[in-house]
Each structure stands twice: as structure tokens, then as C-alpha cells.
Amino acid sequence: MENLKRISLDARELEHPIPLERAIHALRELKEGNYFYMIHRKNPIPLIDLAKEQNFNVLSREDNEGVWHILIAKDTTIDLDELCDV
């Protein structure tokens, strides 16, 4: 897994609907061997539902400070838990 490329988006300061728009764009461009990592002030349910509908591998976790870490990959064999910073 050391060859994985992380595509990051810190959406904590962005206003709706910019985080969702940027995330959808990133998922469209996501290649095998890459994963999307978004940090957000809330759990982006619409994004998570959309990714799951398209059979993406999805992990959503809240840290001790109330910040959400969302990881999404096309490859369902990638262990997103290992890549999560929480």
C-alpha cells in the first residue's frame, strides 16, 4: 500500500455546497491506487451515500475534537482504517 496517492481536501472552513462539489469532482477523477481524504466539520452523509451507491470503499470517523475524517477509494481491498489519521 506504500504506492497509494492521497488526494486531500480540508473542508472545515468551506461553505455549503463547495465541499460536496469539490469532493464529487475528486471522486470522478480518482484513479485506482489513489484515495480521497477529506476533513470536515460534520459527517457529509450525501457524499457518503453517493460514494457507496457507486461501490466505493468508504470510511467515516469522528475524532476527539469533533472533526470528521472521510476516506474514499475505488479499490475495495484498500484498508482505509490503516490510512486514517484518527
DSSP notation for 37-82: EEEESS--HHHHHHHHHTT-EEEEEE-TTS-EEEEEES-TTS-HHH
The pLDDT tens digits of the residues spanning 41-84 come to 999 999 999 999 999 999 999 999 999 999 999 999 999 999 99
What confidence score (pLDDT) does residue 3 get?
Answer: 84
User: Rounded to whole angstroms, how far apart are CA atoms 27 and 47?
Assistant: 10
Average pLDDT over residues 21-40: 96
User: Rounded to whole angstroms, how far apart are CA atoms 69 and 52?
Assistant: 16
What confidence score (pLDDT) does residue 44 get?
Answer: 96
What confidence score (pLDDT) does residue 1 get?
Answer: 53
Neighbours of 51 (CB within 10 A): 23
5-83: in CATH 3.30.110.40? yes
Its pTM stands at: 0.95
